[in-house]
């Protein structure tokens, strides 16, 4: 079984068509718009990992500089949105019981108390206890979309973004089979766990990955977030899933760019 193939060197790339570049339309300026160079990505077949063809993606999709501050804000934003905030306690008004004063205010030599629902008594209410609340925070949509592409760019520059052809699946639901595939391509636990991203649910693949959880996990395009892109050792993603993520998270761009050009 073949392992991951390294990207072609600069001498080899000379024999291929040069990467197309697209100009950014200038707004309110007579100067020529700057060009955005494209980056080269290899499309592999799964599970043999044989290179099939090359694809060019815009640099502002897969070659953005690392911005730790934006990634941090995106991860915090996603974490806050997943907090349930359902913790709830009963204040004295929520506890069942009479509101009669349990003993006189003065003359007993003991502390003054109100009704039996007082927080100082056993069985009373909880003072300053948690109540259902919304922990979600706000983040500008353009900044969040930028964080997605920064995370993918970070993986791309490190050689940890592996794009495979659509239809990633295995014949049978066998964790041993997917474990062999991951280990043969050096994607297993020993080399860092892997995240497999598909366009939709693949029952055999997802069930096998659940059984081989020590080597990574599988998610659909709709279930992936920025934290997932940064958490594991590498990303093995279907071509259509990558195109869909880039298409859905490009609101900060002032122009429409074709997702990829294939050769």
**Helix 175-184 with 203-211: angle, nearest 10 deg:** 80
In a domain, 49, yes or no: yes
In a domain, 130, yes or no: no
Q: With helix as H, strand as E and coil as C, how does the chain read?
A: CCCCCCCCCHHHHCCCCCCCCEECCCCCCCCCCCEECEEEEEEECCCCCCEEEEEEEEHHHHCCCCCHHHHHHHHHHHHHHHCCCCCCCCCCCCCCCCCCCCCCCCCCCCCCCCCCCCCCCCCCCCCCCCCCCCCCCCCCHHHHHHHHHHHHHHHHHCCCEEEECCCCCCCCCCHHHHHHHHHHCCCCHHHCCEEEEECCCCHHHHHHHHHCHHHEEEEEHHHCCHHHHHHCCEEEEEHHHHHHHHHHCCCCCCCCCCCCEEC
Q: Find all residues with CB under 8 Å of 128, minimum gap 6, and list them.
A: none
Q: Please check whether residue 178 is in contact with residue 205, taking contact to mean a CB–CB distance below 8 angstroms.
A: yes
pLDDT at site 25: 43
Phi and psi angles of residue 246, each rounded to the nearest 5 degrees, phi first: -65, -35
Q: What are 7-61's pLDDT values in tens digits?
A: 444 443 333 344 555 544 434 445 554 555 789 999 999 988 999 999 999 999 9
State the average pLDDT for the chain.
Answer: 85
| Residue 243 domain flag | yes
Cα(176)–Cα(59) distance, integer angstroms: 38
93 found inside a domain: no
pLDDT category at 3 given cuts 50, 70, 90 is very low
What residue numbers bound the domain in which 151 lies?
Answer: 38-81+140-262
Residue 31's pLDDT is: 54
**b/e map of 237-246 (b: 16 or more CB within 10 Å)?**
bbbbbbbbbb
Among the listed residues 259, 199, 187, the one whose alpha carbon sits nearest the alpha carbon of residue 41: 259
In a domain, 10, yes or no: no
Partners of residue 150 on adjacent β-strands: none
At residue 173, the pLDDT reads 84
Asked whether residue 94 carries a pLDDT value surpassing 70, the answer given is: yes
pLDDT tens-digit readout, 167-214:
898 888 888 999 999 999 999 888 899 999 999 999 999 999 999 888
Q: What pLDDT, on the 0 to 100 scale, is given for residue 13?
A: 39
Q: What is the pLDDT of residues 207-246, one digit of tens each?
A: 999 998 889 999 999 999 999 999 999 999 999 999 999 9
Residue 219: Cβ within 10 Å count = 18
pLDDT for 101-159, tens place per residue? Answer: 999 999 999 989 999 999 999 999 999 999 999 999 999 999 999 999 999 999 999 99
Q: Which residues, at least 6 apart from 221, have a Cβ–Cβ distance to it below 8 Å? A: 197, 198, 199, 200, 241, 244, 245
What's this model's pTM, rounded to 2 decimal places? 0.76
| Count of the separate structural domains present in the chain | 1
Q: Could you tell me if residue 54 is inside a domain?
A: yes
Has residue 226 been placed in a domain? yes
CATH number at residue 54: 3.40.1370.10
Residue 248 lies in a domain: yes
| Residue 74 scores a pLDDT above 70 | yes
pLDDT value, residue 37: 74
């Amino acid at each position: 079984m073949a392992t991951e193939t390294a990207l072609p060197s600069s001498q080899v790339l000379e024999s291929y068509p040069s990467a197309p570049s697209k100009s950014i339309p200038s707004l309110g300026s007579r100067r020529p718009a700057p060009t955005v160079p494209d980056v080269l990505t290899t499309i592999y077949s799964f599970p043999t990992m044989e290179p099939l063809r090359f694809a060019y993606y815009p640099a502002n999709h897969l070659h953005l500089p690392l911005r730790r501050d934006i990634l941090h804000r995106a991860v915090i934003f996603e974490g806050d949105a997943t907090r349930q905030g359902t913790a709830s306690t009963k204040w004295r008004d929520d506890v069942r019981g009479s509101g009669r004063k349990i003993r006189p205010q003065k003359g007993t030599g003991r502390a003054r108390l109100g009704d039996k629902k007082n927080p100082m008594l056993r069985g009373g209410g909880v003072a300053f206890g948690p109540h259902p609340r919304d922990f979600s925070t706000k983040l500008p949509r353009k900044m969040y979309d930028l964080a997605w592409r920064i995370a993918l760019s970070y993986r791309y520059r490190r050689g940890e973004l592996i794009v495979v052809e659509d239809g990633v699946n295995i014949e049978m639901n066998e964790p041993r089979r997917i474990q062999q595939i991951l280990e043969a391509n050096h994607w297993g636990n020993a080399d860092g766990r892997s995240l497999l991203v598909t366009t939709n649910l693949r029952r055999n693949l997802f069930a096998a990955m659940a059984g081989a959880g020590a080597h990574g996990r599988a998610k659909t395009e709709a279930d992936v977030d920025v934290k997932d892109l940064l958490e594991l050792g590498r990303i093995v993603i279907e071509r259509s899933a990558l195109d869909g993520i880039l298409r859905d998270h490009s609101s900060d761009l002032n122009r429409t760019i074709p997702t990829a050009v294939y050769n």
